[in-house]
Amino acid sequence: MDLFLAQPATAQDLPDFGDSAGGVISPEQERRLGEDLLRHLRAHADLIEDPEIEAYVGSLGTRLVTQSDHRAQHPFTFFLVDDPAINAFAAPGGFIGIHSGLFLQTQAEAELAGVLAHEIAHVTQRHMARSFERASQLSIPVAAAMLGAILLGTQNPEAGQAALAAISAGSVQNRIDFTRANEEEADRVGMQTLVRTGFDPMGIPAFFERLQRANRLSENAELPEFLRTHPVTVSRISDARSRADQLPRGNYQDSMGFYLMRAKLQVSAVQRPLAAVEYFATRSKEQTTGAAQAARYGYALALTKAAQYDKARSEIQALLRADGEQPAYLLAAARLDLAAGRTPAGLEVYRNLLGLYPGYRPAVLGYVEALVAAGKPRDALKVLGDYARDHERDLTYYRLLAEAEGKAGAAVEAQIAMAELRFLSGETELACEQLRFAQRSRTTDHYQRERIAARLKDLARQLAREREERDESDWIVRRGPCTIEPG
């Protein structure tokens, strides 16, 4: 059995949220629900915050979105859940989540792209909005919390059920499982998107078929979560294959990014580094060029993780001789140097990489982290400042900003950055407390106090909205940690 085969997860029912006749939520409300869901998941589930893997999945997803029927004002957001369950899901507002277990199960990039295209179609066709039949009974934050509780349950069923019970406050749990028509439409629209993007449309039926073959055990066997939330019947697979047969196949070759990032996920999925070393030592002898290179890359990462630095350096140097401008190899080389205590060499690799790929998020954030670790927080702050002008300030950005500001002696700025990190992590009350702490500091200047007061007002409204369904919004405005005080 493959060392990295994902284990099945317990199925969870999804609640029904809206009124398709008179209460369909607006695109703006959908986006807000998706944002709240992502923050809720960060607070209660394990998300993969790896800039390199995020960059690959985001790039693949964006390519598909540009060829889809997407006409909404807001961009899509793609993220990964660190969970061995074979699952993927579309959340309102263009938020697409993929479980690491599903990524590891795909054997070709067209399969991963097919899953993403299918989930993108659920969003572009507004299947979720059409299924919302009780929108007047649930607020946006409570809907997000309920969705998050369900997803949390795929990792820990008892925790998920407890969270759902607390959030729903005794209300009846309904389903928003997509209908057969929704699934067939997502298959059809997703295939069209695959073809427009240059992928083989067979990616969708091929992945479904392989999942079914792998799970033909017994009537009572646990199916992968993906097969439970996206029911796949023989007739549906037949229809999907028939439809794909009528579409142009193209000659698309899997990207190295697909193989490399899957190998990186495989290394991180193994608890014992030596087990990963043994696995990739065998796989690196494969004949296929892409697979063999990815296995060698995984072998180098596993050796680094096992602190076998000399062997890891030999493997990475061999990879760089084959492709000296592959960003994944250069990032691996930089991280190896830093892990081995060769900090100046690692920083130089990062600088060379940024010369090749200016603004590349994994390289920028890795360079900043290395600068902070090397005792150069002011240099790190300058890099972050340049980066923030053209990029979104996300979770990893604020984590590094808080660390750099703190080590540079700017305690108040570190507190402000930490508050934003808390907020994006789904801890709004802690974010408020962090800002109140900074506001009371004797070293806080007038400009910082004004910034803090303005942000506290925003977070007070957010907290009131989050507590609205629990009849606690008045308490938040008057007595919560975001209470606005003079000065």
Are residues 224 and 84 in contact, defined by beta-carbon separation less than 8 angstroms?
no
Measured distance CA(33)–CA(92) in Å, rounded: 6
Q: Please, are residues 22 and 36 in contact by the beta-carbon 8 Å criterion? A: no
Count Cα atoms within 13 angstroms, Cβ side, for 445.
4
CA distance 441 to 434: 11
Cα distance between residue 224 and residue 229, in whole Å: 9
**What is the distance between the alpha carbons of residues 432 and 415, in angstroms, rounded to a whole number?**
11
In sign, the C-alpha dihedral spanning 377, 379, 380, 385 is positive
Q: Is the dihedral of CA 383, 386, 391, 395 positive or negative?
A: positive
State both tokens at 139.
């607020």
Phi, psi dihedral angles at 266 (to 5 degrees):
-65, -40
Which residues belong to the active site? 119, 187
Stretch (H or E) spanning 305: helix 289-305
What's the CA gap between 472 and 214, in Å, rounded?
A: 49
- C-alpha 368, offset from chain centre: 21
Pairing outcome for strands 88-91 and 95-99: antiparallel
- Single out the residue of 12, 13, 36 nearest to residue 139, CA to CA: 36
> What's the CA gap between 391 and 389, in Å, rounded?
6
Q: What angle do CA 301, 306, 307 make, to 5 degrees?
A: 95
95, β-bridge pairs: 77, 91
Q: Is 77 strand, coil or helix?
A: strand
Round to the nearest angstrom and report the end-to-end CA distance of the chain: 64
